[in-house]
Amino acid sequence: MADPAWGHVHNLTLDGSRLLLGTHDGLWQQDSNQPATLVSEPPFDVMALAVGPDRLLASGHPAPGQNLPADLGLRESTDGGLSWQTLSLEGEVDFHRLTTAENAVLGLSAHDGRLLRSMDGGQTWLDLGLPAIYDLAIDPKDPERVLATTERGPVQSDDGGHTFSPTAGAPLLALLAWSGSVVYGVAPNGDVYISDDATIWTRTGSVGGPPEAIAADGERLVVLTDGTIVESTDAGATFTDRITGLDGH
C-alpha cells in the first residue's frame, strides 16, 4: 500500500494493529489494510514519538503558520494524537529519540546529543551528559534499566541512564524496540535480533537493508527500510510489505 503525500517518516509506534507514523507533515495512522490518515492538527513535524500509558509523547518543530518556537520541547497527547499540549522544554530542546516507561522519560537532544531524564512524566529534567548513544529503550517493567546502541555495540544501564556498560557478546545494533519482556534490535545491515534479557541475543530474520525506524508490540514488529515499512507477526522471523513508497529520515 502506497503512502499519501507526506514528507520524511521519522519514527514509528505500534498500538496493537494501529501503526502510528511520525512524519515531517504530522502524525499519521494506518490500520491493517486501510489507507493512512492524518491524525494531528495542525500537522507539526514529529521528530520523536513514544507511547506511554494513556498518552503519546512527541517532540519536533511547528507546522507552517504556528506561532511557536522552532523547538517544541516535550509535547503530550491524551486523545490518541489529535491534539497536543506542551509539557516542558519548549524553545529549548528538540528530541530526536524518546522512550518512556511508567513515570520515566528519556530523551536525546538533537542539538548536542545530551541525554535528559525525567522521573515525573516529563515535567522536570536531569541532564545525564553525553553518553554518545544513537538509540535507546527503557525496560517497560523496570524504568531504571536502559538499553542503548553505540557504534561499538549495545550498552546497558541499571541506574536510569546515569552510567552505561558494554553488553559483552551482543551483536552490533542500530535501533531498538522494547515490548513487554522482549527487546528487539535491528543491525545496520538489517538483521533482526531478539532477547528476553537484553544480554543474550538470537537472530530471527532480516529486513534486507539498513533500518530507519522500528516499533514493536508483542510478536508484531515493523521496520522502515529502503522506502518500505515491512511487518512481522512472528517476532521478526518473516516480513511482508505494509506500506511502500516512503521517504525515511
Top-confidence residue, 194 or 17: 194
Cα four-point dihedral sign 204, 197, 211, 231: positive
Q: What is the pLDDT of residue 247?
A: 65
pTM over 0.85? The answer is yes
Mean pLDDT of 33-41: 88
Q: Are the C-beta atoms of residues 173 and 186 closer than 8 Å to each other?
A: yes
Over 60: is that where the pLDDT of 237 sits? yes
User: What pLDDT is stored for residue 5 in this prediction?
Assistant: 58
DSSP string covering 49-109, please? EEEETTEEEEEEEPPTT--S-S---EEEESSTTSS-EEEE-TTT--EEEEEEETTEEEEEE
Q: Give the pLDDT confidence of 89-120 residue by residue, as tens digits.
A: 999 999 999 999 999 999 999 999 999 999 99
Return the DSSP state at 2.
B
Tell whether the model's pLDDT for residue 157 goes beyond 50. Answer: yes
pLDDT, tens digit, 9 for 90 and up, residues 160-186? 999 999 998 899 999 999 999 999 999
pLDDT of residue 1: 42
The x, y and z cell numbers of residue 37, run together, are 490518515
Rounded mean pLDDT of the chain? 93
pLDDT exceeds 50 at position 2? no
Let me know: does 94 contact 116? Beta carbons within 8 Å: no
Q: What is the pLDDT of residues 134-153, one digit of tens each?
A: 999 999 999 999 999 999 99
